[in-house]
């Protein structure tokens, strides 16, 4: 090697050492931030964790496919509000003022989604609700709020069809949690059962969230001898209720909510659930293209089948990604809100298209647990 060649090589090496790292390469664009507030501890921890897994699966797919335009990836900023409305307000403020997120999703239970809307409305930051069914969620007068899941009225309507179709079903007794969700569920179902051909509602009552013994109310229901029961219990109490019903000899045609759609429930009390109908937002038995994409992505990430809660998180994440792509890089809250208002996207649950209140009005479905497995009814 000549002296001149050695000198050129050494000069090149010195330039490389002296040059700052990354010179000549464009910096990665700042990510689009989605702020998440969930009850990751507290009574709805399981549902919150499953919802977040679905959300992470959606973001993983979006980022692997190139992000949301201009090379931007989505970054999740997650905080725990413990299911407490006042904590949710604090989380919403932190996400907006400190974390500087582009959108927020404050979920589980619906009361936290409602509480946070005062913050997001004032800040003009779009808020997504992916797991809040009561109609009150979209009745807060917040133009920056969008619900991407089904609602209590649609859930009641589709379940009422199965209730009416049950032979010799002349009377029904109902039980639900004493909160905004439970009161909305019973009102929605009672309204739907006001239609001709429906069974008469002979009893309705509510239980407290911390309640673990349902004997007294179950005995009251048994004394009325209804033809069917609508029992909507938290997932943490569903095994308890089914076992106490069996112990009391309360064997009637059973209807319920998504809280009866749970693989852990099947493992612990499957025979007691036999024949029951339940309303759900989504289930793996749905085999459309959107459902298949979701299931494949979820299984690839977690090596397990997703549930209803995870599907709602996936849909919320995908709706956010679609809106961010439409709004474009650097979009403010008003631009993202405008993109959401015009959005149409086919989710596993159905078509997402918002009405004037920001409600997607996605259809609900009915399953029946029969012969040890869940089957799609409608």
DSSP for 305-326 reads: ---HHHHHHHHHHHHHHHHHHH
Please give the Cα distance from 157 to 189 (Å, whole number).
7
CATH number for the domain spanning 77: value is 3.40.50.2300
Residues 191 and 257 in one domain: yes
**Domain assignment of residue 180, yes or no:** yes
12 pLDDT higher than 50? no
Containing structural domain, residue 264: 153-280
Residues 270 and 157 in one domain: yes
Residues 133 and 172 in one domain: no
Least confident range from 77-86, 201-210, 259-268: namely: 259-268
pLDDT in tens, 219-267: 999 999 999 999 998 777 889 999 999 999 999 999 998 888 887 888 8
Residues 254 and 222 in one domain: yes
Residues 229 and 312 in one domain: no
More confident: 212 or 321:
321
Please give the Cα distance from 152 to 192 (Å, whole number).
11
Cis geometry, peptide bond prior to residue 102 (ω within 30 degrees of 0): no
Residues 130 and 43 in one domain: yes
Of the ranges 39-48, 181-190, 343-352, the best mean pLDDT one: 343-352
Residues 73 and 158 in one domain: no
Average pLDDT of the residues of the chain: 90
Question: In the 3-class helix/strand/coil scheme, how is 45-67 assigned residue by residue?
Answer: HHHHHHHHHHHHHHHHHHHHCCC
pLDDT in tens, 149-192: 999 888 888 999 999 999 999 999 999 989 878 888 899 899 99
Q: Structurally, how many domains does the chain consist of?
A: 2
């Amino acid at each position: 090697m000549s002296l001149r060649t050695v000198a050129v090589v050494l000069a090149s090496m010195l330039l490389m050492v002296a040059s700052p790292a990354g010179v000549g390469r464009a910096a990665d664009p700042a990510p689009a931030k989605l702020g998440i507030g969930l009850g990751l501890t507290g009574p709805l921890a399981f549902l919150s964790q499953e919802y977040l897994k679905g959300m992470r699966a959606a973001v993983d797919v979006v980022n692997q496919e190139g992000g949301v335009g201009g090379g931007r990836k989505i970054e999740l900023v997650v905080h725990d509000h413990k299911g407490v409305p006042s904590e949710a307000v604090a989380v919403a403020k932190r996400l907006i003022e400190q974390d500087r997120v582009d959108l927020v999703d404050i979920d589980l239970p619906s009361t936290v989604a409602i509480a946070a809307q005062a913050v997001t409305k004032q800040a003009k930051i779009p808020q997504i609700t992916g797991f809040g069914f009561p109609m009150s969620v979209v009745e807060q007068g917040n133009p920056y709020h969008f619900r991407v899941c089904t609602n209590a009225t649609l859930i009641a309507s589709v379940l009422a069809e199965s209730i009416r179709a049950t032979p010799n079903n002349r009377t029904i007794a109902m039980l639900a949690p004493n909160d905004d969700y439970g009161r909305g569920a019973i009102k929605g179902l009672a309204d739907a059962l006001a239609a001709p051909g429906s069974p008469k509602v002979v009893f309705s009552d509510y239980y407290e969230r911390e309640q673990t013994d349902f004997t007294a109310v179950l005995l009251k229901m048994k004394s009325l001898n209804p033809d069917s029961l609508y029992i909507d219990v938290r997932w943490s109490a569903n095994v308890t209720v089914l076992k106490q019903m069996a112990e009391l000899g309360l064997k009637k045609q059973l209807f319920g909510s998504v809280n009866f759609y749970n693989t852990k429930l099947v493992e612990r009390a499957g025979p007691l659930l036999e024949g029951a109908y339940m309303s759900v937002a989504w289930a793996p038995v749905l085999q459309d293209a959107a459902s298949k994409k979701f299931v494949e992505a979820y299984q690839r990430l977690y090596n397990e089948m997703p549930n209803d809660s995870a599907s709602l998180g996936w849909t919320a994440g995908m709706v956010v990604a679609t809106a961010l792509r439409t709004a474009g890089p650097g979009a403010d809250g008003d631009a993202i809100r405008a993109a959401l208002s015009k959005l149409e996207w086919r989710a596993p649950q159905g078509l997402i298209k918002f009405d004037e209140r920001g409600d997607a009005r996605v259809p609900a479905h009915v399953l029946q647990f029969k012969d040890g497995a869940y089957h799609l009814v409608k």
